[in-house]
Amino acid sequence: MGFLRNSCQLPLFFLIVFLLSSSATGFKRFRRSRFNHEPEITTSAPSNDTQTPYFYNQTLDHFSYKPESYITFRQRYVIDYKYWNGANAPIFVDFGGEWNIGNAPSNGFLTAIGPRFKALIVFLEHRFYGQSIPLGSMEKAMKNTSVQGCFTTAQALADYAAIILHLKETIPAAESSPVIVFGCSYAGMLAAWFRLKYPHIAYGALASSAPVLYFDGFAQQVGYYTIVSKDFNATSRSCHETIRKSWEEIDLIASRPDGLSILGQKFRTCSELKKSFDLKDYLDSIYAEAAQYNEPPRYPLTTLCRAIDGAAEGTDVLGRILAGVVAFVGNQSCYDMDEYNEQTDTSLAWGWQTCMEIVMPVGHEVNDTMFQFAPFDLSSYVNDCEKLYGVQPQPHWISTYFGTHDFKFTLHRFASNIIFSNGLSDPYSSGGVLENISDSVVAINTVNGSHCLDLRPAEESDDPEWLRIQRENEVDTIQGWISQYYSDLKFRG
Amino acid sequence: MGFLRNSCQLPLFFLIVFLLSSSATGFKRFRRSRFNHEPEITTSAPSNDTQTPYFYNQTLDHFSYKPESYITFRQRYVIDYKYWNGANAPIFVDFGGEWNIGNAPSNGFLTAIGPRFKALIVFLEHRFYGQSIPLGSMEKAMKNTSVQGCFTTAQALADYAAIILHLKETIPAAESSPVIVFGCSYAGMLAAWFRLKYPHIAYGALASSAPVLYFDGFAQQVGYYTIVSKDFNATSRSCHETIRKSWEEIDLIASRPDGLSILGQKFRTCSELKKSFDLKDYLDSIYAEAAQYNEPPRYPLTTLCRAIDGAAEGTDVLGRILAGVVAFVGNQSCYDMDEYNEQTDTSLAWGWQTCMEIVMPVGHEVNDTMFQFAPFDLSSYVNDCEKLYGVQPQPHWISTYFGTHDFKFTLHRFASNIIFSNGLSDPYSSGGVLENISDSVVAINTVNGSHCLDLRPAEESDDPEWLRIQRENEVDTIQGWISQYYSDLKFRG
C-alpha cells in the first residue's frame, strides 16, 4: 500500500503499486518517493535537543507463552518534551508505520499543535523497521521463522500498548494524561485499530488517509486506480486520453521482433528492456505516485500532465508519455525500470506484511479507467506469497480481528473519538471512511487533498485555505475530546 | 477463580480456593461442586435431538505466522436449532469457560429465552477443555511448549471469533443476524472482553458474575473473602463467630505433640492428617463454596450454619464445625482433605490459566473477617508458577490487553451493549461491575443472588421473585439492543 510522506524528516516513504501483468497480478512493490527531502539516517544524537531517543525492551510474542515468546528486542521511541506541561496535559503519540523513524522524527501536525495543548509528543517505531528489528538485522530476523512469524499488526499494536503504559507509569505527572494516537496510511489504520482494541490506553485517534475498508470483500467499483484515473481526468482530459491510448501502443511495438529494443531506446531504459510489462509497470507506478502525492505547492500530477499535453505538435503518444516521465522524474540520461523494486530492509519488511495480512485487493478492476483491465487475483497473490515465505498468508485475518465488512456499522454502534481524515484526490481514499459515523467518529475530508497531507508540516504562507481549515477542524475535534476527558475523569477508579 | 454452575447439564464446576498458608500463599485449587447433578460426559449422540455437536478445525496460534502456528485442533461446538427462525433472527452464543461442555450442553437462561427471540443457540467449548484439546490429550498438549504456550485468553477469544464468523457464513439466513454472547464467571469475562475486542462480531454481551475488575492493582478492601464472611454474618452472627474462633482452636490442638492425630480423628479425615493447614484449607473451601453457591431452593450456607448453631448444647467449637461439615458435605465415614486438589484435565488446564494470566489477587487481606489474615502475595505466587511451568507468568497482561485500572472509565466512554449481572452475595461480585456505566452498559444485580444464578435453569415455581425480575430485566435489555440493531442496519456496507 501506499505511504507516508508526512514529514521532511521522515527518511523513507513508500508507494505500493500493484503489477499490471495477469501473470503476477497483485504483487506489490515499493518505491522511494521523489518529492521529499530524504535525510541521512543518523544513529547519533538527535538534531533537535528537545527530542531524545530511547529503546524499550520489547517482548517478541505478546500472545503466547512459549519459551521463545520471551525473546526481546530493542524498540526505538523518541520523546519530544519541548511543549510538555506535565500536570495531566495530553500525550500525543505518533505511530510509526513501515518506515525508519530516525532519531529526530517529525510529524508536522503534532509539532504545530503541541504548544497549544502543552502536549508530550512521542514517536514510536514499528517492530521490524529502522532500529527496531529483532535480532539486530532483517537478514537474521527473517531467516528465523520463530522471529519472522511474530511480525504481525496485532503484535505491533500490543508493542505500542506496552510502551505507552510504560511511559504513563514512569513519566511524572503523566498518569492521568489522555493519550491521543496519530498515524498516516498504514499507521493511520493502526491508530484507528488501536483506539478500537485498546480504548483504555488511547482516548482518541486521528487516522489520516487510512484505507481501513480496503480489505477482504471490499467492493471494487471505485478502487485505487479509479481515483488515479479520475485525478488525471480532472486535471486534463487529453492527458488522461493520451495515457489511456499508450498501453496499446506499447503492446503493439512490443509485439514486433525488435519492439523491446525500440521501446528501451525510446524510454532511455538504463538496462535492456526484457519485457514490455516492466515499462508499463514503471509508468503505472509514476501515475499512481503522481496522484497519491499531488500536493501543494508543486502538484506533480499537474506537472506531468502539462508535459504530456504540452509536447511539440505532432509528437506521438509515446513521445508525449516520455515527456511526462522527464518532467516528473527529471531529465536523466537513463530511467531505471527497476526503481520501484529496490530491495531494502524496509521493502523486505513491508513485503512480508502485505503478503501475510495487509492484503488489499488493489487492481485494475474497472474497464473505464485510463489503465488496462487487470483485476486483483487473490488466489494467485496468495500462492505467490506462500511460495516466497513458505507459510500460508492470512488475507482474511484483518477482517476477522478488526472487522471490515460491517466496519462502519460497528463504528456507529461501538466506537468513539476517531477522526478519519482523507484527501479525496488520494487514491487510497477509496478505502477510507468518508462520512461522519456518529458524533465522535467523524470524517474530515478535503476535495483536493492528497495522501496524509494534513499531517505534513504546515507550509505557513503556501498552504491553501482548505488545508488550514481541515487541520483546524481536527484540532477543534481533539480539543473537544480532551475537554470531555477531564470532565469524565470522575468515572475512573 | 470460581466457577460456573449455570446448568444441570454442565458436567463439571469448579471453585478456586486460595490457600491460607503463607508458605503457599495464593496458590489455587479446584473442586467439583457438590450441588449439581454431574452427568456422565458422553461422546455419543446428544440427548436432545435438536442439538448437534460439531468440530471446527481451529488454528492453534492466531497471532503469529510461524510454521507451528498452523497446527490445528478440533474445537467442539454444539448448535441447538430448536427455536431458530432464520431470517436474521438473533444468534445467542454461550461461551464455554474452564469446563467440558459435553455434547448436550445447556444454559438455562438461553433455553428459556430462545423461543421468544426465535434464536439460534450455539455452545462453544474453550480450547484445552473437554474435547477441544490440541494434540488430543492434556498430557501431550502440556508437554509440548509450542502448543501449551498458545493456551491464552486472547487466543480463546480469537477462536470464538473464527467459529462465529464461520457460522454466519455457512448457516443460511444468518448473515445479518445479530450475535449476542453470554458467559458465566471466567466465561462472563470472556463475553465482556469479546464485546470490547470484537464488536463487529458480537453486538452485545451478558457477563454473569464476571469479576472483570479483580486483577492487577485491584483494591483489596472488599475482596472475595470479605463477602464470604459477610454472607455468614448475615445468615448467623453466632455461626460466623464460631468459625472465626475455630482457626485458633485448630492451631492450638495442632501445636500439641499428638495434635494432628486428634484433629484427624475429630474430623474423620480419610488419611492421616499431615499438617493443620490441610484441614484449615478444606474448611476454607467449604465456606467459600457455600457462600458462592448459596442459592435457592437449598441454600447450602443456611444449612451449614444451622448445623453449626444447632449442635447440642455444650458442643465445643470444633464439634460445631464438624456438624457444619457433615450437614454440608453429607454424613460420610470419612472426609477427604484433598478433595479440592484433585488432578483432572480441567484442573491442569485451569491451573495453567490462573498461573499465566488470570491472576486474581484473592487472599485473606482484611483482619476483621472470620478468616485468619493471609494476604495474597503476588511475587511468591508468580515464583511458584514459574517453577511449575518453566515460563514466566504475565500477571499484568490482562490489564494491558483488556484494561482494568480504568476499566469503568473506558466502559463509560467506549463500550456499549454489555450487561454485567451479579448476585451481591457471590464473593466474586467484589470484582464485578456493580453500577450502571452508561445507557447501554448496565449492571443488573440482586442482593441475594449467588454465582451465575441468572443463567441457571429457571425452576418455575421455586424461583424467587427477585430472580425472575433480574432475568426479565436482562431479556428486556437484550430485546432493546436487538431492536436497535435492526433499525441501525442501514449503516452497514
Helix, strand or coil, per DSSP, at residue A92: strand
In angstroms, the separation between the Cα of residue A161 and the nearest Cα of chain B is 7
Average pLDDT over residues B345-358: 96
Amino acid at A229: S
Q: Does A288 touch chain B (CB under 8 A)?
A: no
Question: Which residue reads 524496509 in cell numbers?
Answer: A346
Q: With contacts defined as CB-CB under 8 Å, which chain B residues touch A166?
A: none
Q: What is the ipTM of this complex?
A: 0.89
Q: Order of strands, edge to edge, in the sheet holding B51-59?
A: B51-59, B72-80, B120-124, B91-95, B179-184, B204-208, B418-423, B441-446
Asked if A412 is an interface residue toward chain B (Cβ–Cβ < 8 A), one would say yes
CA distance B62 to chain A (A): 8
A180 pairs with which residues across the strands? A92, A204
Query: Rounded to the nearest 10 degrees, how much is the dihedral formed by the CA atoms of B458, B459, B460, B465?
Result: -80
- Interface mutation target, options B57, B61, B63, B485, chain A, most CBs of A under 10 Å: B63
**CA of A409 to nearest chain B CA: how many angstroms apart?**
5
Question: Looking at residue B82, what is its pLDDT?
Answer: 94
Signed CA dihedral, B127, B131, B136, B138: sign only: positive
Q: CA of A150, closest CA in chain B: separation in Å? A: 5
Contact A391 B62 (CB under 8 A): no
Label residue A85 by pLDDT band (50, 70, 90): confident
DSSP per-residue string spanning A285-335: HHHHHHHHT--TTT-HHHHHHHHHHHSPTT--HHHHHHHHHHHHH---S-B
Does residue B408 register a pLDDT over 90?
A: no
Residues B226-238, mean pLDDT to the nearest whole number: 97
Instruction: Confirm or reject contact between A154 and chain B (CB < 8 A).
Output: yes
Kindly state whether B81 is in contact with chain A, defined as any CB-CB distance less than 8 angstroms: no
Strands (DSSP E) found in A294-408: none
Residue B9: pLDDT band with limits 50, 70, 90: very low
Tell me: pLDDT of A1 over 50.
no
Banded model confidence at residue B220, pLDDT cuts 50, 70, 90? low
Contact B492 A63 (CB under 8 A): no
Q: Flag if A65 and B394 touch (Cβ within 8 Å).
A: yes
Q: Is residue A256 less than 8 Å (CB to CB) from chain B? A: no
| Across A66-91, average pLDDT | 94
pLDDT in tens, B171-199: 988 988 999 999 999 999 999 999 999 99
* Mean pLDDT on A240-267: 97
Distance from CA of A224 to the nearest CA of B (A): 18
Q: What is the DSSP string of B318-354?
A: HHHHHHHHHHHH---S-B-TTGGG---HHHHHHHHHH
Burial class (CB in 10 A: 0-12, 13-18, 19+), B457: middle
Query: How much is the pLDDT for A40?
Result: 32
pTM listed for this prediction: 0.91
How far apart are alpha carbons A3 and B376 in whole angstroms? 50
Q: B403 vs A356: CB contact, 8 Å cut-off?
A: no
* Nearest chain B residue (CA) to A217: B493
Q: Which chain B residues have a beta carbon less than 8 Å from that of A60?
A: none
Percent of chain B at pLDDT > 70 equals 88
Phi, psi (degrees; rounded to nearest 5) at A11 = -75, -30
Cβ-Cβ contacts under 8 Å, A148 against chain B: 65-66
- B150 in contact with A at a CB cutoff of 8 Å? yes
Q: What is the end-to-end Cα distance of chain B in Å, rounded?
A: 41
CB-CB neighbors (< 8 A) of B402 in chain A: 200
Q: Annotated catalytic sites of B, by residue?
A: 185, 426, 451
Cβ atoms of A452 and A188 within 8 Å: the answer is yes
Q: Distances from the Cα of A317 to the Cαs of A275, A309, A313, in angstroms?
A: 20, 10, 11
Check pLDDT > 50 for residue A323: yes
- Inter-chain contact B199–A197, Cβ cutoff 8 Å? no
The whole-number average pLDDT for the span A155-164 is: 98
- The answer to whether B412 faces chain A, any CB pair under 8 Å, is yes
User: Rounded to whole angstroms, how far apart are CA atoms B72 and B135?
Assistant: 9
Q: Is the CA virtual torsion B336, B341, B343, B347 positive or negative?
A: positive
Average pLDDT over residues A457-461: 69
Cα distance between residue A427 and residue A425, in whole Å: 6
Report pLDDT for A130.
97
> How many Cα atoms occupy the beta-carbon half-sphere of A76 within 13 Å?
23
Cell, residue A415: 466506537
Of B458, B479, B389, the closest CA to residue B141 belongs to: B389
**Residues on chain A touching B145 (C-beta within 8 angstroms):** 66-67
pLDDT at residue B12 greater than cutoff 50? no
Mean pLDDT of B302-307: 98
Summarize the confidence of residues A383-408 as an average pLDDT. 92
* Between residues B216 and B447, the one the model is more confident about: B447
Write down the mean pLDDT value for chain B: 88
Cβ atoms of A2 and A223 closer than 8 Å:
no
A158 in contact with chain B, both atoms CB, cutoff 8 A: yes
In chain B, whose CA is at the least distance from the CA of A399? B200
Q: Where are the beta strands (DSSP E) in A318-471?
A: 418-423, 441-446
User: What amino acid positions of A are annotated as catalytic residues?
Assistant: 185, 426, 451
pLDDT band for position B460 (cuts 50, 70, 90): low
Lookup: cell for A138: 532483517
**Whether residue A414 has pLDDT greater than 80:** yes
- Mean pLDDT within A212-238: 91
**Closest in B67, B405, B491 to A409, CB measured:** B491
Distance from CA of A379 to the nearest CA of B (A): 19
Residues 6+ apart with CB under 8 A from A491: B408, B409, B412, B413, B437
Q: Among A66-70, B4-8, B255-259, which stretch is predicted with the lowest mean pLDDT?
A: B4-8
Q: What is residue A52's three-state secondary structure?
A: strand
Backbone angles phi, psi at A363, to 5 degrees: -150, -175
Report how far residue B244's alpha carbon sits from residue B32's, in angstroms, rounded to the nearest whole number.
25
Nearest CA in chain A to B142: A66
Is B160 an 8 Å CB contact of chain A?
Answer: no
**For residue A493, what pLDDT is reported?**
52
A154 Cα to chain B: minimum distance (Å): 7
Q: Could you tell me which chain B residue has the CA closest to the CA of A157?
A: B401
pLDDT tens per residue across span A15-38: 443 333 332 223 233 333 444 333
Place A48 in a pLDDT band, splitting at 50, 70 and 90.
low
Q: What is the pLDDT of residue A158?
A: 98
b/e map B159-198, b = 16+ CB within 10 Å: bbbbbbbbbbeebeebeebbbbbbbbbbbbbbbbbbbbbb
Interface residue of A359, A385, A413, A437 to substitute, partner B, most B CBs within 10 Å:
A413
* Chain A residues closer than 8 Å to B167 by CB: none
3-class state of residue B402 by DSSP: helix
Instruction: Identify which of A149, A198, A401 has the shortest CB distance to residue B65.
Output: A149
**B25 has a pLDDT exceeding 90:** no
Q: How far apart are CA B377 and CA B362, in angstroms?
A: 9
Q: For residue B295, which of B1, B5, B2, B32 has the smallest C-alpha distance?
A: B5
Inspect the interface and report whether the beta carbons of A152 and B63 lie closer than 8 Å. Answer: yes
Whether B330 and chain A come into contact, CB under 8 Å, resolves to no
Stretch among A338-352, B1-15, B386-400 having the lowest mean pLDDT: B1-15
Any CB–CB contact under 8 A between A20 and chain B? Answer: no
Residue A428 has pLDDT above 70, yes or no: yes
Q: What is the pLDDT confidence band of residue A490, given thresholds at 50, 70 and 90? A: low
A422: nearest Cα among A203, A210, A107, A221:
A210
Mean pLDDT within B104-116: 90
Q: What distance in Å separates residue B414's CA from the closest CA in chain A?
A: 6
Average pLDDT score, chain A? 88
The pLDDT value given to residue A17: 35
Cβ distance B417 to A416 less than 8 Å, yes or no, reads: no
Residue A424: per-residue pLDDT? 97
Chain A CA closest to residue B392: A65
- Judged against a pLDDT cut of 60, whether residue A192 lies above it is answered with yes
pLDDT per residue as tens digits for the range A99-114: 999 998 888 899 999 9
The edge-to-edge listing of strands for the beta sheet with A204-208 is A51-59, A72-80, A120-124, A91-95, A179-184, A204-208, A418-423, A441-446
Number of C-beta neighbours around residue B241 at 10 A: 16
CA angle A12, A16, A20 (to 5 degrees): 150
C-alpha cell at A284: 503505472
Strand A72-80 to A120-124 pairing: antiparallel
Strand partners, A51: A80
Contact A40, A224 (CB under 8 A): no
The better pLDDT of the pair B393, B49 is held by B393
Helix (H) or strand (E) holding A113: helix A108-117
